[in-house]
Structure formats: C-alpha cells, structure tokens
Structure 1
Amino acid sequence: MQLESGAVATGRVTRVTDFGAFIQFENGETGLVHISQIAHSFVRSVSEHLQEGENVEVKVLGRDERGRLDLSIKELQDEPEEIPRPRAIGRQSPQFENKLRSFMRDAKERTTGGERRGSGGKKGGRR
C-alpha cells in the first residue's frame, strides 16, 4: 500500500531534528513533517511537540521530486479563530518625546555645524 496525497495515516516518530520529524508507517515508508507543518503557532523546537517513539496522525501533502513523503500535522488541526498578533506599543510619555525631539535637534546641529558655509561658492583647489 502506497500513501497518496490527501491520505490520513498514523505513523511512529523515528527521528526528531531541528527542521522537523521523520515518521515511519506500517508499510515501511518514511516521510517528513517539516517544522512549519507541526502547528499553527510558531514552533521554536520540534522536540517540544514530538518525541521519538510517539505515534502521530498525519496528512500526506504529497511527494517531492525524489518521491519522499511530505507530511503535515497542522492540516489535521482546527485553525485558530484568531491569529495572535503582537502587542501594540503604547504611546510614549510626553517627557520622553520632548527629550527625544531635543536630542534629535542637537544631533542635527552637531552634524551640520561642522560644514563650511558662505565660502564664496567656489569649490576645490587653487588658481
């Protein structure tokens, strides 16, 4: 029995790596669940989600150009209703904004203050 795209099967985790986990099926075939296919949320470490020897249900996404199985766990999970968004940064205090404005003005004056102005408009060397 060969696993086809769209099939759902249970396999055993045989190896966990930084980039994903290898799953072996009863028919002897092995496929990869890439780290991006483990969960809908950010996966920092595959080993936090999967352990060697564990049985997992996966969906076959297809095969790569070399015939290797591409697998997904997250395709079998309900997608979260709301994707967590980064917290908004609150407005800074007026004192901070005033200090920042003053710093920027002083920095601009320091960097443009060293330029020569009013040199007669002539550039470069001698006559």
Structure 2
Amino acid sequence: MEYKIGSIVEGKITGIQAYGAFVALDTHTQGLIHISECHHGFISDIHRYLKVNQTVKAMIIDIDEYTRKISLSIRCIKEPPVNITDEHIRCEHKHYWTNYKVNEGFKPIELRLNGWINDGLHDIENELKKK
C-alpha cells in the first residue's frame, strides 16, 4: 500500500514505550505515535490512553523519504476539548527533510581522509622522536 502524509490509516498497537506507541499498519509497515500525538494536552502516562493490541485510527503526519519511517497522530483527528481555545490547537508538525536522491553520503569524509591519515602519521612520528 502507498502511504501519504495526511492519510487516515488504521492499525494495531504492537508495543508501547515511554515516548510513544508502535503501530502495525500492514505486515511490512510500522508507524510510531509519539506521546505528544496521542491526546490533546499533557500526557504523563501513555498507558492511560493506549494499550497493546488496540486498534487505532491515526493520521500520517510525516514520512521520512529515506528511512520510510512513518509518524502518526491520533490527536490530529480528534476534536479538542471545549476548554482549549483555537489559539492553542495545533496539528502543525516539523518536517525533517531527507531525500534518498541526495548522494552526499561519506563523500565529505572521503575528501578529508588522506589529510587526517597524514596528520595522524605525523603525530605518531613526533611521538616516536620524543622517546
């Protein structure tokens, strides 16, 4: 299945950590609901809102293009409590830009490696001369 940011998906919670819950979207795809995306307002214990094997609906709020990690939010598809004003309601999320098409990789290291090796050999020679 092709997943897209903004889509509402259904999945089963497979594990819970202090920072969030892992959700199986299909047999090969898993997402994470960060604790801040479980419920409107402060959450001191994620276990009060989510349980392992619970089926949940959530919105896809980010997909890392390189690692294919999916970030999910239950908060974005639920109505906020009536005592929260509009100025406090946010479902905006940071998008951490990554792109598998950028082939930078280890190139900066490769360009400096010979200099580092020469510096290291020079330091070793100096230490040997001191003895």
TM-score range, shorter chain: 0.5 to 0.7
Partner of 1:37: 37
Partner residue in 1 for 2:71: 70
How far does residue 3 in structure 1 lie from its aligned partner after superposition?
1.2
2:14 counterpart residue number = 14
| TM-score, normalised with respect to structure 2 | 0.60
Q: Secondary structure at the match of 1:40?
A: coil
2:83, 2:46 → 1: CA distance? Answer: 23
Which segments of 5 or more consecutive residues in structure 1 lack a partner in the other structure? 85-127
Structure showing greater radius of gyration is 1
Q: Which amino acid aligns with 1:28?
A: H
Superposition misfits of 4+ residues, deviation over 3 angstroms: none
- Written as runs of structure 1 = structure 2, the 5 A alignment for 1:65-104 is 66-83=67-84
Greater share of residues in helix:
2
Does 2:55 correspond to 1:60? no
Number of residue pairs aligned between Structure 1 and Structure 2: 84
Q: Give % identity.
A: 26
* Distance (whole Å) between structure 2 residues aligned to residue 55 and residue 76 of structure 1: 15
Match of 1:3? 3
**Can you give the 5+ residue segments of structure 2 that lack an aligned partner in the other structure?**
86-131
